[in-house]
Amino acid sequence: MTTEKEKMISGKIYNPGDKELLNARQRAKELCHKYNTLPNSSVNERENLIKNLFGKCESIISIEPNFYCDYGFNISAGKNFYINHNCVILDCAAVTFGDNVWIGPNCGFYTAIHPTNAEERITGVEYAKPITVGNNVWIGGNVVILSGVTIGDNTTIGAGSVVTKDIPSNVVAFGNPCKVIRNI
């Protein structure tokens, strides 16, 4: 029997109201709340909370409060990872960050997809596609990255961008929708 969590992770339509998923989201919300209310001087406790929340984190990472995610276990972060204030990661599918990724304030990473058909949407089902961010990527403030997007290595995403499609390596891209402006 396939669970709703297994369906979610594999990109199939699933019911987010499933008890296992509700419990997993509740756990993540509680860990995020605890993280967000710790004093900055509680470095070790903050690091341990993130290690307990994320599926994988390779080294010490820095995340400024407030930080929010849906599950946490679908987030993977490489070395030298930094998130500025007010980041939201809806990690119904994998969200993978490479090494040396820096994220500006007020950014969102949204893997969840809701049906466009109203009758299907009101049933509450959804599906998700992963987000992948390569190595040496800078993401400016107020950027939104949507489901299924891959951002290549050594790329800069300009502030205020809405990234709806893949962005290649070694470029500067920005806009709504985000598009390549120039090669690096």
Alpha-helical (H) ranges within the chain are: 4-9, 19-37, 43-53, 118-121
User: Per the residue annotation, which of 12, 114, 121, 165 is the catalytic one?
Assistant: 114
Task: Examine the residue annotation and report whether 114 is marked as an active-site residue of this protein.
Answer: yes
Strands (E), the chain: 56-57, 62-63, 67-69, 75-77, 82-83, 87-90, 95-97, 102-103, 108-110, 112-113, 127-128, 131-133, 138-139, 144-146, 150-151, 156-157, 162-163, 171-174, 179-183
Separation between Cα atoms, residue 30 and residue 98, nearest integer Å: 26
Q: Cα dist. 125→3, 17, 68, 119, 137 in Å?
A: 14, 8, 22, 11, 33
Q: Known catalytic residues?
A: 114
